[in-house]
Amino acid sequence: MEDLRIAKQDMPHVAPETTGQPARAEAYVAIITCFNRDDTINYSAVRNQVRRQISFGNNILVGDTQGDFTCLTHAEKVRLCAEIVEEADGRVKVLANIGMPSTYQSILVGKDISGLGVDGATVLAPYFADCPDEDVFLHYSKVADSLQMPIYLYNAPAITMRPLSAEVVGQLASHSNIKGIKDNSTDGARMRAYLDIAADNADFVHYVGTDSLICEALSHGAAGCMSDLGNILPRTLNNLCLTFANGSSKEALKWQSLLSELRADLLALGPMALWVKQLLYLMDNSVGLGRQPFPRPNSAQEEALCAIVEKYQIV
């Protein structure tokens, strides 16, 4: 599967790499978790998605929002990481989200996946209790102290209802085992504050998680992106990062405009996380649908999704 619209627009083709992106423009895809009709995980279909991303040179983030992490059991998260690491076989990097409502649970998942060969873990801020900064700091410090793999903070205020403050991120950036942050907000001022922290800490990097802000973040020093829409347009994502890393910022902006347009079309239907998987399902029904109570589209929404497939000529 690839986006054929690119060729029709006469955009430049950049040959994908199979070992990740050059430094400071790494492309990660928050890969979906595939399900069978009985709601069990379809590990074969997951491996197909991994191979698809590898063919375009994209690194993998496991068990993120697009990966239905809130619906997976502890054992499923561990096996999912094991299957993906085995399939990747060192050809791209693999990170895993271990964010859980409690510090204890995050550490348990982290310990069980740390020996599987993952390259690190993103840790979502606590998303059940509304924790003050002091408790957020303690949460991340204990996770980082307890695990023998690189840890990345994960700012996702749409899920946690509370952004990570620049103050607490600045404090955590000096921790020897905290290597960066995935930032899913759309707050430009906050993003720049995080980028300033990364600029002041050589071992701390910023990954943008909002697909419409990739070029902006890269231009201000981000190390790369962790994308949802790379599930739909993996070539576009890879070419954006590769052209930027090669100094072709104008070409990168062309790829960015396509991702931004797709994001706007999906947001018009509602929260984007709900529709990326539905759109991918229309492209390849082996991915299945999310576990209930994951919403199913009504007839009007299905018609809109089909129009998006047609508009972008996604096959």
pTM given for the model: 0.90
Query: Residue 18 pLDDT > 70, yes or no?
Result: no
Per-residue pLDDT tens digits for 272-309: 878 898 999 988 999 998 887 777 888 999 999 999 99
Residue of 208, 180, 246, 191 lying closest to 14 (CA atoms) = 246
Residue 247: pLDDT band by 50, 70, 90 thresholds? very high
pLDDT of 314 reads: 78
Question: If you average pLDDT over residues 199-206, what whole number do you get?
Answer: 97
122 vs 181: CA distance, rounded Å: 8
The least confident of 11-25, 144-158, 260-274 is 11-25
pLDDT of 147 reads: 98
Query: Residue 3 pLDDT > 80, yes or no?
Result: no
pLDDT of 4 reads: 35
Query: Cα Rg for the chain, rounded, in angstroms?
Result: 18
Query: Residue 236 pLDDT > 80, yes or no?
Result: yes
68 vs 39: CA distance, rounded Å: 12
**Which residues, listed in sequence order, are joined to residue 314 by a DSSP beta bridge?**
3
Distant-in-sequence contacts of 274-281, Cβ < 8 A, 24+ apart? 275/301, 275/305, 276/32, 276/66, 276/228, 276/229, 276/231, 276/232, 277/32, 277/66, 277/231, 278/305, 279/232, 279/305, 279/308, 279/309, 279/314, 280/32, 280/231, 280/232
Per-residue pLDDT tens digits for 107-132: 999 999 999 999 999 999 888 778 89
Residue 219: pLDDT band by 50, 70, 90 thresholds? very high
Judge contact between 168 and 197, C-beta under 8 A: no
pLDDT of 315 reads: 64
Q: Alpha helices, DSSP H only, in 56-149? A: 74-88, 103-113, 133-146
For 162, which DSSP code?
A: S
Per-residue pLDDT tens digits for 25-81: 999 999 999 999 999 999 999 999 999 999 999 999 999 988 999 999 999 999 999
| pLDDT: which is higher, 7 or 308 | 308
From the centroid of its chain, how far is CA 276? 12
Distant-in-sequence contacts of 164-169, Cβ < 8 A, 24+ apart? 164/125, 164/136, 165/133, 165/136, 166/190, 166/193, 166/194, 166/197, 167/133, 168/133, 168/136, 168/137, 168/140, 169/193, 169/194, 169/197
Helical (H) or strand (E) element with 245: helix 234-245
Judge contact between 234 and 241, C-beta under 8 A: no
Residue 261, CA atoms < 13 Å, CB-side half-sphere:
13
Residue 310 CB partners (closer than 8 Å, separation 6+): none
pLDDT of 161 reads: 83
